[in-house]
Amino acid sequence: MVVIYIVQETQRAVLLKFGEIVRPDIEPGLHVKIPFINSVKKFDARILTVDVRPESFLTVEKKGVEVDWYAKWKIADVSKFYTATNGEERRAHVLLSQRINTGLRNQFGERTLHEVISGERDELMTELTKLINGIALTEFGIEVVDVRVKQIDLPPTVSGAVYSRMQTERQREAAEHRSQGRELAEGIRADADRKRIIIEAEAYREAERLRGEGDAVAAAVYARAYNKDPEFYSFTRSLKAYQESFNNKGDILLIDPDNDFFRYLNDSRGK
């Protein structure tokens, strides 16, 4: 007489004969066993999680930190897992937690507070995962997929000093950035002033050149006009002088009536 049993895809199993393992890793599917002689132990083959309460560790400076971590694991050797834990997942969690806590204590004890908080956390986790995986495979038949720190809390006596140090470092960096910014701004202003002076000098030089050319052209026009009809040119200049001189009703001129200035007023021919 035999009994049929099923091993699911998400399970690993061992077959026992009077408590002794006779088949260490049964594949998923239908199988048979002999009642009262054989027994089957099934385990979850999926990736499982160990998540424990935060633990206290000391850094190399003897400063305490509260570390909250978790680990991902799965069964790699069913026979060894059953032998080491009696097939109890809770027992596996306890054994893994002890090994990981020891590993974290050693890793934190070799590093400074700054390194474990920010500088070398990824490196620490990689080394710890590799170390714990080797131990767990050998002792428990468990493959440790990953170990991660969720949170690192500082005790009140330590956090104040750490935050003060971080604030001082940030202030120093800010002062350096401001100093560099002022230096850069001075350089930009000096360069802008130099370019402004050059542009103004070039513009003044060009304006003087154009003004000189304009005066020369105007003088040439005046000369040609004067040469064509000197008398008419003299007449128009006198009219313009009269207009400018008597533009305001309050203007007074004390000039001899026989002065040459009034020659076109006394005689339209200017004689």
Task: Kindly report the backbone phi and psi dihedral angles of residue 26, in degrees, each rounded to the nearest multiple of 5, phi listed first.
Answer: -85, 130
What is the rounded average pLDDT of the residues 224-237? 73
Question: pLDDT tens for residues 130-174?
Answer: 999 999 999 999 999 999 888 888 766 666 666 777 788 889 999
The full set of domain ranges for the chain reads: 3-44, 48-154, 231-266
Q: Is the dihedral of CA 177, 182, 188, 190 positive or negative?
A: negative
pLDDT of the residue at 162: 65
Give the DSSP letter string of 223-268: HHHHHH-HHHHHHHHHHHHHHHHTSSTT------TTSGGGHHHH-T
Question: pLDDT tens for residues 73-98?
Answer: 999 999 999 999 988 889 999 999 99
AA letter at 27: E
Calpha distance 64→107 (Å, rounded)? 13
pLDDT tier, 265 (very low <50, low <70, confident <90, very high otherwise): low
48-154 belongs to which homologous superfamily? Band 7 domain (3.30.479.30)
pTM of the model: 0.55
What is the rounded average pLDDT of the residues 221-237? 74
Calpha distance 53→128 (Å, rounded)? 18
